[in-house]
Structure 1
Amino acid sequence: MERNDRLENEKMTKLLINLSLPATIGMLVNALYNIVDTIFIGRGIGYLAIGGLTIAFPVQMMVMAIAQMIGIGAASIISRDLGAKDIEKADHVAGNSFLAVGILGILICVLGLIFIDPLLRLFGATDVLLPYAKEYLQVILIGSIYFPFAMSTNNLIRAEGNAKAAMFSMLVGTILNIILDYIFIFPLNMGIRGAALATILSQLASVIYILFYLYGGKSTLKVKLHHLKPDWTILRETMAVGFPSFARQAAGSIIAIILNNSLAFYGGDLAISVYGVVNRIIMFLFMPLFGIVQGMQPIAGYNYGAKRIDRVKEVLKLSIIATTVFAVFSTLIGQVFPGFIIGMFDNDPELIENGTYALRIVIAMVPVIGVQVIGASLFQSLGKAMPSLLLTLSRQVIFFIPLVLILPRIYGLGLLGIWISFPIADFLSTIYTVVLLKKEMRILDTQVQ
């Protein structure tokens, strides 16, 4: 009840900071793991192993897409149920999310291991990179049995307003991952398989922490056996509201098929490795944006359920300002120190030269994407699946895919055409978001009246 009162009445700036800061710290640490993991692989095995990791990563993204779809969809419903004081329904929603991620996790593991070779070929694996990608992914797929539970349930913990517990669940896994990464790659000389093993063991630690939290009397949610009974109405709404998150992550995997194959065609194994490094740098530099999103969502969802439209609009404004500030700062770091940042992963001169060039282009329009990220997440928090889906797909599918297919063929742009597709897609999707947000604000104003 204390958490619910804070969501409805606490000063918005303080509330957003309190919910966003733990999420941001957790996500930054998780992004730091991705950086350290890639540095260890680059330094301990070589940049070709980074290329293999880049090929395998879209499969991990699909696992995360399914977990996020269920977790964010369920979290949106739970936030609104808590705002409406319907605690029993919130518990039932949580129970159904547990059931769904459990079943889907097993299916992903089995099907992934059966079709691993054609899957990796589809994602652009060359003859050189395939052994690295396969060795890594075989281990990761075993962890997919339980990892979706950790990622999905983390959203539910935030939905009840306990951002610190959600942060700690991420910290436990990430810190252990970094430690095990070093041990398995260097002293034990286990190569890329060691990196994968470190990942699934640390994910298991996060699952154990979450279970202790849920059943140790700290959670508002009290999921019991009868809450696991499938309720198709709840499951349909969960999937519908969470589908934009799935679409965003799944679109990333579809893009990876096009992007990795295009990179291999225009730049070879080196270009794939460069993108692997650049992608992890972007994930780290801009993770605070998604921390703010995760702080904003329970506030917007709860107050929308409680009919406090004024607070919905207030958190939207503050979130856009905060994400824009972070995006500008992060872009400056990437533009001023690109060579130094790329060089941390591998000291190969060719990788550093090509990576510096690519990074500066790819992040050129990132200062404006805070609006796009917040806009798509707001519609999701309000339970409006269609506009959220359209905004989610706008950057990655509607704009980026045509650009990355067309631009490399224009005037012989080649690899440059791939890199400039990123900032153009960022700019166009932000314009589209502004249009939809203005329309939604007019609708919210009528609800206040």
Structure 2
Amino acid sequence: MEQLDDRSKLLGQEKVSKVITKLAIPAIIGMLVNAVYNFVDTMFVSWIGTNAMSAAQVGFPVFMVLVAFGQLFGIGGSSYTSRLLGENNKKEASKTITVVYITTIITGVILGICGLVFLEPLVNMFGANSDNISYTLAYTSILFIGAPFILGNMALNNLLRAEGSAIISMFGLMLGAILNIILDPIFIFAFDMGIAGAALATIIAQAITTVFLLSYYIRKKSLIPMKLSMFKPSKKIYNQILTIGLPTLIRQLLASFSIGLMNKAATGYGTEAVAAIGIVSKVFMLGFYALLGYTQGFLPVAGYNYGAKKYQRVLDSTKVSTKVSTIYCIIVFAVFMIFAEPIVMIFRPEAEVARIAVKGLRIWSISLPLLGYSMVINMLFQAIGKAKEAAILSISRQGIMLIPLILILPSLFSLNGVLLAQPVADVLTFILTGILGIIVNKEIYQLRDGSNGLPNVA
């Protein structure tokens, strides 16, 4: 009870900028370590050759599909859990996290089996060609075998952040990334497994991390207990999970489909173009993941205070988060623009791959200053349970906006059109986010002031 009271004081009373920073720093560190892993993993794969690099890019949407289902349960469950804690309903929160985790593992097993059965048509849909098909099959088959660990890891990280255990979540992310970085060169080069070694390193790291995070519950160190006896699925719990998690699932699935379309569009300009886009996406991810980590610190603050009816704190946390995230994005924009070439050359690409990647990184960076606001408002809708708005924004950046652009722009601007699709989609999503953001802020102000126009001091 004392631990719950401390958390309530942290989220509900302390200065919002301090609370967000306290929760965000572990998430940022964890996400950055994870981004560094993706960067280093891509670097090692690129050293194998252009075909291996392009195969990893084709296999990336497969990994995103698995992550999408982990986020469905993790983000949906964590949002509901945060609100339950704000209402001081610890018993229902315990039941929720148990249902979330067990359901996630079952889903992982099902996805793994289905993925292996339909492996070849799946990778062909995501842009595999005769040059990289053997590499792609070797890579993705191992990912599907480890699907339960990928999904379980994602769910546990989100659930731990929801209860305020951000440091444990951070250590979990760091453990997985560090193990992956260590194992990559061993399996890829020492054991001469090539790209299959990269996939195997990923799954082993994910498995060990899952055991580490799960042990936090088994050793009864968590604020909310997870017990097999609490596995009592209910329509209410699944409705809450799906209401918030489904937009994230749809967004990630659309993102996977979009990357597949982008791979196919790039294939028309050679395997080098596919490899270059793989490099650009991993470098961009290095900057994006820190932003994602920060907004994950914002989400429980907004969710808790909305559940506790402390609407001014919701507004304050949104303003602070928007300011900090926008400043960060402007800094990353400048770094990518100025140092694009030396960053790309870390991957030792062939000359044509390097040329396309440098141009691509600068083009993708054009919309970076707008992403901070878009991400914060998206997280706000998730935090306060606004499913409709969250769904619209979740499927916009890499779905509604991006997919038509990938289909249209290459016919107008050739390879430049492929590279322009993402930043143009970001600009359009920012405009839509601004419209919805104004509406939700007005609603929260009205809730704060109450029907009689007086400030709500609850």
Question: Please, what TM-score do these two structures have when normalized by structure 2?
Answer: 0.95
Superposition RMSD in Å:
1.0
Q: Is 1:246 aligned to residue 249 of structure 2?
A: yes
The alignment partner of 2:25 has SS state of helix
CA distance in 1, matches of 2:119, 2:109: 15
* Counterpart residue number, 1:184: 187
CA positional deviation for 1:380: 0.5
CA positional deviation for 1:225: 2.1
CA distance in 2, matches of 1:53, 1:257: 12
CA distance in 2, matches of 1:397, 1:140: 24
* Counterpart residue number, 1:80: 83
* Counterpart residue number, 2:421: 421
**CA deviation vs aligned residue, 1:2-41 (integer Å, no higher than 9, x gap):** 1222111111111111101110000000010011111111
**CA deviation vs aligned residue, 1:205-235 (integer Å, no higher than 9, x gap):** 1111111111222211112223212212211
* Counterpart residue number, 2:32: 28
CA distance in 2, matches of 1:96, 1:171: 26
The 5 A counterparts of 1:383-422 are 383-410=385-412, 413-422=413-422
Whether the aligned pair in 2 keeps the contact of 1:33 and 1:177 (CA below 8 Å) is yes
The alignment partner of 2:401 has SS state of helix
**CA deviation vs aligned residue, 1:130-150 (integer Å, no higher than 9, x gap):** 111110111111110222111
* Counterpart residue number, 1:38: 42
- The equivalent position to 1:12 in structure 2, one of 13, 16, 27, is 16
| Structure 1 unaligned regions, length at least 5 | none
* Counterpart residue number, 2:365: 363
* Counterpart residue number, 2:275: 273
Whether the aligned pair in 1 keeps the contact of 2:381 and 2:387 (CA below 8 Å) is yes
Matched residue type, 1:381: A
Whether the aligned pair in 2 keeps the contact of 1:408 and 1:414 (CA below 8 Å) is yes
Whether the aligned pair in 1 keeps the contact of 2:50 and 2:349 (CA below 8 Å) is no
CA distance in 2, matches of 1:302, 1:368: 26
Moved more, 68-77 or 6-15: 6-15
CA distance in 1, matches of 2:419, 2:342: 20
Whether the aligned pair in 2 keeps the contact of 1:67 and 1:101 (CA below 8 Å) is yes
**CA deviation vs aligned residue, 1:292-348 (integer Å, no higher than 9, x gap):** 111001111011000010111111111111111111111111111111111111242
- The equivalent position to 1:372 in structure 2, one of 371, 374, 377, is 374
Q: Is 1:282 aligned to residue 284 of structure 2?
A: yes
Change (3 A) 1:407 1:147: closer
CA distance in 1, matches of 2:278, 2:291: 21
- The equivalent position to 1:150 in structure 2, one of 144, 148, 153, is 153
Whether the aligned pair in 1 keeps the contact of 2:30 and 2:171 (CA below 8 Å) is yes
Matched residue type, 1:151: M
**CA deviation vs aligned residue, 1:172-213 (integer Å, no higher than 9, x gap):** 111111001121122222111111111111001111111111
The 5 A counterparts of 1:42-53 are 42-43=46-47, 45-53=48-56
* Counterpart residue number, 2:356: 354
The 5 A counterparts of 1:2-401 are 2-43=6-47, 45-265=48-268, 267-401=269-403
CA distance in 1, matches of 2:244, 2:120: 33
CA distance in 1, matches of 2:159, 2:330: 30
Moved more, 85-94 or 417-426: 417-426
Matched residue type, 2:81: I
**CA deviation vs aligned residue, 1:361-403 (integer Å, no higher than 9, x gap):** 1111111111111111110110111101101112222221111
Matched residue type, 1:387: E
Matched residue type, 1:329: I
Question: Please, what TM-score do these two structures have when normalized by structure 1?
Answer: 0.97
**Identity, % of aligned positions:** 36
Matched residue type, 2:429: S
Whether the aligned pair in 1 keeps the contact of 2:156 and 2:214 (CA below 8 Å) is no
Whether the aligned pair in 1 keeps the contact of 2:43 and 2:347 (CA below 8 Å) is yes
Whether the aligned pair in 1 keeps the contact of 2:46 and 2:349 (CA below 8 Å) is no
CA positional deviation for 1:254: 1.2
CA distance in 2, matches of 1:351, 1:407: 21
Matched residue type, 2:379: S
CA distance in 2, matches of 1:381, 1:182: 40
* Counterpart residue number, 2:447: 447
CA distance in 1, matches of 2:110, 2:242: 17
Whether the aligned pair in 1 keeps the contact of 2:68 and 2:252 (CA below 8 Å) is yes
Whether the aligned pair in 2 keeps the contact of 1:31 and 1:283 (CA below 8 Å) is yes
- Runs (4 or more) in structure 1 with deviation over 3 Å come to none
Whether the aligned pair in 2 keeps the contact of 1:286 and 1:326 (CA below 8 Å) is no
Aligned residues: 445
Whether the aligned pair in 2 keeps the contact of 1:376 and 1:389 (CA below 8 Å) is no
Whether the aligned pair in 1 keeps the contact of 2:294 and 2:325 (CA below 8 Å) is yes
Whether the aligned pair in 1 keeps the contact of 2:104 and 2:152 (CA below 8 Å) is yes
Matched residue type, 1:397: G
Whether the aligned pair in 1 keeps the contact of 2:318 and 2:376 (CA below 8 Å) is yes
Change (3 A) 1:446 1:428: same
Matched residue type, 2:288: F
Matched residue type, 1:427: V
The alignment partner of 1:85 has SS state of coil
The alignment partner of 2:128 has SS state of coil
Moved more, 309-318 or 213-222: 213-222
